[in-house]
Structure 1
Amino acid sequence: MNLRCVVMGVSGCGKSTVAAALAQRTGATYVDGDALHPPANIAKMARGAALTDDDRWPWLASVGDRLRPGGIVIACSALKRSYRDLIVRQARQPVTFLHLDGTREVLADRMAHRHRHFMPLSLLDSQLATLERPGSDEDAVIVSIDQPVDMIVTRFLTTIRFTDPLEKSQ
């Protein structure tokens, strides 16, 4: 499977954990999208300031570039439709998005119990306000985070295998 996948959602939804598990299960390479941020973005978020679109565009272009060869799963917030569109354009290939969806209460609890992460809990509401859920015309699967990681990965893989037109025609 030449997977190009972005595991997306707001901070605390489990992007890194699910993306790593998905990559391991499919033999893809896992990339933490946070590692593609320029240091200025990390510093800005660490001090509790939300990124602007201008801060994000170069980072999102890097995400798309990294996806281009395929066999890649990236954990990346990809909160807006315009961000996802840029990632797909930059990848120059189809990209599937796995949106990890959860309630504010679950997300806040997860963030409160994380250690050594630059994103403060104070930015959760900003991320939730920015989030544009994937539309029905996007190549995206929405999965609730209130289940074990292996079930999230299985649900995603079952869904994309069922809906992939190339696999259906073979």
Structure 2
Amino acid sequence: MGSSSDDPNNKHIKGSSALAVVLMGVSGSGKSTIGNMLATIIDCNFLDADDFHPQANKEKMSKGIPLSEEDRIPWLETLRDILKEHLRSGETVVLGCSALQKSYREILRMADRYYEPGSYGGKVRFVCLEAPMEVILARLEKRATEGNHFMPPTLLKSQLELLQIDYAEEVIMVDATLSPQIIVNNIRAQIN
């Protein structure tokens, strides 16, 4: 694969105009699949927020217990600091993270040293992958049967209850029922 500098479509997402693209949504919306594809296409790193959960959080979720704010906030602050390092280094990065509430997204936005609360469209951009509950539930059940994730389908309801989108935030909404390539193309068109 050629470097991003060889591709005129990618030149503005490297270097001084580096971005942190956060793919958000409930578990099963496709954050890891789409995130890996997007990162490959724009030649950057993909980070899965689940990899940064402490073991205690993973154990709690695997037992069907929703995380508390005390569980989430330190995890989100760790993710913010990782994004901040990428941005300071002039590197674009894609992060798959549920980021279901505005307050959680505010923590992640603080990775942009120029961010001022209430102003959006900076270096940390959010893309919400949305799909009907039945589609997400079927994906989660398949994943649970295959043993591919620690979070059981029973937590979907609590995630949907937490999901809060304030349209003033300029969250990019993407239909997650489309083919992965179309989803990635849609995201690229909107973050560019």
Q: 2:176 aligns with which of 126, 145, 163?
A: 145
Secondary structure of 1:113's aligned partner:
helix
1:132 is matched with which residue?
A: 164
Contact 1:31-1:72 within 8 A present in 2 as well:
yes
Q: SS state of the match for residue 174, structure 2?
A: strand
Question: Where does residue 48 of structure 1 map in the other structure?
Answer: 64
Mapped pair 1:118 → 2:150: yes
Q: Percent identity?
A: 38
Cα distance change, pair 91–51 in 1 and its aligned pair in 2 (3 A): farther
- Cα distance, 1:136 vs structure 2: 2.6
Structure 2 residue runs of 5 or longer lacking an equivalent are 1-12, 115-122
Cα displacement (A) at 1:90: 3.8
One-letter amino acid of the counterpart of residue 20, structure 2: R
- CA distances 1:143-169 after superposition (whole Å, capped 9, x unpaired): 0111011111111111122xxxxxxxx
Q: TM-score, normalised by structure 2?
A: 0.80
Q: Which amino acid aligns with 2:50?
A: D
Provide structure 1 residue ranges, at least 5 long, that are not aligned to the other structure: 162-170
1:6-25 Cα deviation digits (max 9, x unpaired) = 11000110110011111011
Instruction: Report the Cα distance in structure 1 between the residues aligned to 2:131 and 2:168, rounded to whole angstroms.
Output: 21
Cα distance in 2, alignment partners of residues 160 and 7 from structure 1: 12
Larger Rg, first or second structure (1 or 2)? 2
Partner of 2:39: 23
**Alpha-carbon contact 1:61-1:90 (below 8 Å) kept:** no
Runs of 4+ aligned residues of structure 1 deviating over 2 Å after TM superposition are 90-94
Q: CA RMSD in A?
A: 1.2
Rounded Cα–Cα distance in structure 2 between residues aligned with 1:126 and 1:46: 14
Between the aligned partners of 2:111 and 2:39, the Cα distance in structure 1 is 21
* Partner SS for 1:92: coil
**Is the contact made by 1:3 and 1:28 (CA closer than 8 Å) also made in structure 2?**
no
Q: Amino acid of the residue matched to residue 109 of structure 2? A: V
- Amino acid in structure 2 at the alignment position of 1:97: F
Shift of 1:58: 0.5
Contact 1:65 / 1:91 at 8 angstroms: preserved in 2? Answer: no
Q: Distance in 2 between matches of 1:42 and 1:91?
A: 28
Matching of residue 109 in structure 1 with residue 125 in structure 2: no
User: What is the distance in 2 between the residues matched to 1:155 and 1:98?
Assistant: 10
The AA in structure 2 aligned to 1:120 is P
CA contact (8 A) 2:111 2:124 kept: no
CA contact (8 A) 1:95 1:139 kept: no
**Cross-structure match for 2:118:** none
Q: Pick one of 113, 136, 154 that aligns with 2:185.
A: 154
Match of 2:113 in 1: 92
Report the equivalent of 2:73: 57
Aligned to 1:166: none
The count of residues paired between Structure 1 and Structure 2 equals: 160
Task: Tell me the secondary structure at the aligned position of residue 152 of structure 1.
Answer: helix
Tell whether the 8 Å contact from 1:7 to 1:97 is kept in structure 2 after alignment. yes
